[in-house]
Chains A and B, each alone.
Chain A
Amino acid sequence: MTAQREESTQVLLRELYRQMLLIRRVEEQAAKAYAQGKIGGFLHLGIGQEPVCVGAISALKPTDYVVGTYREHGHYIAKGGSAKEVMAELYGKATGASKGFGGSMHLFAAERRMMGGYGIVGGHVPLAAGIAFAAKYRGKDDVTLCFFGDGSVPQGAFHEGISIAGLWKLPIVFICENNQYSMGTPLYRTLAVADVTERASGYAVARDRFSGEDVLAVRQHIAAAVERARQTGQPTLVEVITYRFRGHSMSDPGNYRTKDEIEEWKKRDGVALARERLKTEFAVSEDDLVSLEAHIRAEVQEAVRFADESPFPDAEEVWRYVYADPSSDPRKF
């Protein structure tokens, strides 16, 4: 590696580490707020899976599109979103990413082409293909990244979406975040063929499968798929092997996994690995990292304060986004 390349890789890895750690701290804080009753409903944390969204999204241009799942806090932040917007949305506040209308599972940012989280497993795959079609139709070279879990793979909509993308040669990368469980059910009990990318050949899309703890490796793999999509219009089905350290959602005690299994995976924690590499391979000092981490802590504290102090949406707002046209306001009928 030339000195210059090494310098830029260091800067890159430091930035990706910053994003991953920010995501982790935001989610840890969200777990606390949930326990205090400040966040309602369902909260799915991606702790352990950060290298996947951070590495993948870092391979995009800002004009590319991201379609996430309901486990998408990290994707939202990696696509340029702030901790404040996430936290306020989780709190259901008017200042949140989706103005308090979506909650944890529905983080949208139109200006950054963050096309949201989706609560219906697999339902978002065909619409991601549609976004990719629209980019192609308009003669843009925008690429769409569509994330989903291993649980989407048996779902009909997944197959319909990827089938269309393969047939029409759409600029899209399908990324399966295979954390080996869909809710409490392990993968081997729901898929007859465990290698998700085996499905690619049936739909004329390229495939790639790798382990997801090294954020730079994730970036490299996804960058190749993104370039293929951009240059040739061939979609890729990517499977990243990963693991969530926490339960499916906050209400899941997670006793379908053994402590040993979880501990084993924690040894491959991509956030800790990135930190280690920064020190050993790129000579970043402990002081530098400590000060980075202090910044992140302050940012998360600020996000909590912001969420706490922000107002809830006004009650009248409940009617606001149903139709574009005020003459269709349901209250008129």
Chain B
Amino acid sequence: MPVMNIIQAVNDALKLEMRRDARVVVLGEDVGKFGGVFRATSGLFEEFGKDRVMDTPLAEAGIIGAAIGMALYGLRPVPEIQFADFIYPAYDQIVNELAKFRYRSGGQYPAPVVIRTPYGGGIRGGHYHSQSPEAYFVHTPGLKVVVPSNPYDAKGLLLSAIRGEDPVIFLEPKRVYRAARGEVPEGDYTVPLGEAKIVRSGSQLTVLTYGAMTHTCLEAAKQSEAAGFDPEIVELRTLLPLDAETVLQSVRKTGRVVIAHEAPKTCGYGAELAALIAERALLSLEAPINRVAGFDTPFPYTLENEYLPSPDRVAAAIKQTATF
């Protein structure tokens, strides 16, 4: 099996699906001739031509709005927003138009647009190349929100997303775009949306996480293991719809929970997870739910290592929760 990084896996998925399905088109800033700033769309323009791989003007609302129209007419657009930080100019199109289309047309018009965008910190990118905006989108019924952490899942989830009937925000963990490498099957396979994965099984407490933080948590688990703790790590992979069963099963087994994400803590996705656990597994809990998150500040330039949850911070939370 070929070994790929996440960018190559995304690229592979796009090529595969564009060969298979003529309805699939790609559009965005610099995605065509240039091949995307992270090279995720490299080679597509050459293979599929300018009618299927479109360099757009720098206009996010225009990109997403146009993609919606294409989808209404039966195409399968996969627009790229160059960095998740630049998705906000398109926020109105996503929240007011895209997410509600099926619903407000009484089911007549699905809008299967898959918006790919790199998210997250850890590349010293400062305010506008680092943010994790997932909470804005999971708060929007009608959207699905997917966050892979590795090449295998990236390809399989992206293929599922494109083949689905609903709009998807597909957040790609850019910090580990190249660093996370792994075996990826050639050809077709899918990873279904809405299924979490236990990436480390353990007995003592549950760590809930997703995206690039999965790697941070795995590193933290090594430290914790050396210190005699045994965490279970559940990688959510899809935030909406959430695989609540896998989450709750793990929590019922361990009775202790740490939640880790990069985005600010207040009303971050961890708040939803904590509420879910409080509603459905409260009596299993033996310790308070412990959230490790980015600070409630804008994303800082110099102090990003303070801001971002590090393996040390996650390991400290594991210890605190395990010994409560």
Chain B interface, DSSP helix/strand/loop, else mixed: loop
A252 smallest CB distance to B (angstroms): 8
| B33 in the interface (beta carbon within 8 A) | yes
- Report whether B58 and A41 are in contact in the complex, using a CB–CB cutoff of 8 Å: no
User: Of A51-59, A185-193, A273-281, A284-292, which binds chain B?
Assistant: A185-193
A313 smallest CB distance to B (angstroms): 6
Q: Which of B55, B124, B126, B266 is within 8 Å of A106, CB to CB?
A: B126
Of chain B, the residue at the smallest CB distance from A333 is: B266
- Report whether A183 and B126 are in contact in the complex, using a CB–CB cutoff of 8 Å: no
**Chain A residues within 8 Å of B61, by CB:** 156
Q: Mark B22-63, 1 if CB is under 8 A from A, else 0.
A: 000000011011100100000000000000000111111110
Q: Mark B260-287, 1 if CB is under 8 A from A, else 0.
A: 0000001000000000000000000000
Q: Which of A121, A152, A155, A319 is within 8 Å of B297, CB to CB?
A: A319
Contacts A318-B300, A318-B307, A322-B298 given; indicate if A41 touches B129 (C-beta within 8 A): yes
- Report whether B126 and A184 are in contact in the complex, using a CB–CB cutoff of 8 Å: no
| B89 in the interface (beta carbon within 8 A) | yes
Alpha-carbon distance between A166 and B306 when the two chains are bound, in angstroms: 45
Of chain A, the residue at the smallest CB distance from B296 is: A330
| A306 in the interface (beta carbon within 8 A) | no
Chain B interface residue number, banded: 35 or more
Contacts A92-B301, A317-B303, A330-B296 given; indicate if A185 touches B55 (C-beta within 8 A): yes
Alpha-carbon distance between A101 and B59 when the two chains are bound, in angstroms: 27
| A46 in the interface (beta carbon within 8 A) | no
A331 smallest CB distance to B (angstroms): 8
**Chain B residues within 8 Å of A92, by CB:** 301-302
| A120 in the interface (beta carbon within 8 A) | yes
Alpha-carbon distance between A256 and B297 when the two chains are bound, in angstroms: 38
| B202 in the interface (beta carbon within 8 A) | no
- Report whether A313 and B303 are in contact in the complex, using a CB–CB cutoff of 8 Å: yes
**Chain B residues within 8 Å of A62, by CB:** none
**Chain B residues within 8 Å of A256, by CB:** 33-34
Q: Which of A100, A101, A155 is within 8 Å of B58, CB to CB?
A: A155
| A42 in the interface (beta carbon within 8 A) | yes
| B109 in the interface (beta carbon within 8 A) | no
| A157 in the interface (beta carbon within 8 A) | yes
Chain A interface residue number, banded: 35 or more
**Chain B residues within 8 Å of A93, by CB:** 302
**Chain A residues within 8 Å of B62, by CB:** 154, 156
Of chain B, the residue at the smallest CB distance from A91 is: B302
- Report whether B89 and A100 are in contact in the complex, using a CB–CB cutoff of 8 Å: no
A108 smallest CB distance to B (angstroms): 13
Q: Mark A292-322, 1 if CB is under 8 A from B, else 0.
A: 0000000000000000000011010111001
Contacts A155-B58, A156-B61 given; indicate if A322 touches B128 (C-beta within 8 A): no
A163 smallest CB distance to B (angstroms): 15
Task: Beyond the given A122-B89, A154-B58, A190-B58, please list 6 additional residue pairs across the A-B interface where CB-CB is below 8 A.
Answer: A155-B57, A156-B89, A185-B33, A313-B302, A319-B295, A333-B296
Interface residues of B (CB under 8 A from A): 29-30, 32-34, 37, 55-62, 85-86, 88-89, 123-129, 266, 295-298, 300-303, 306-307
Return 24 A-B CB contacts under 8 Å, by A number. Answer: A40-B123, A41-B123, A42-B126, A101-B301, A102-B126, A105-B126, A105-B127, A106-B301, A119-B129, A120-B88, A154-B57, A155-B60, A182-B29, A183-B34, A184-B34, A185-B29, A185-B34, A189-B55, A190-B55, A312-B302, A318-B297, A318-B300, A319-B295, A319-B297
7 shortest interchain CB distances as A-B pairs: A40-B124, A154-B57, A184-B34, A330-B296, A119-B128, A92-B302, A103-B301
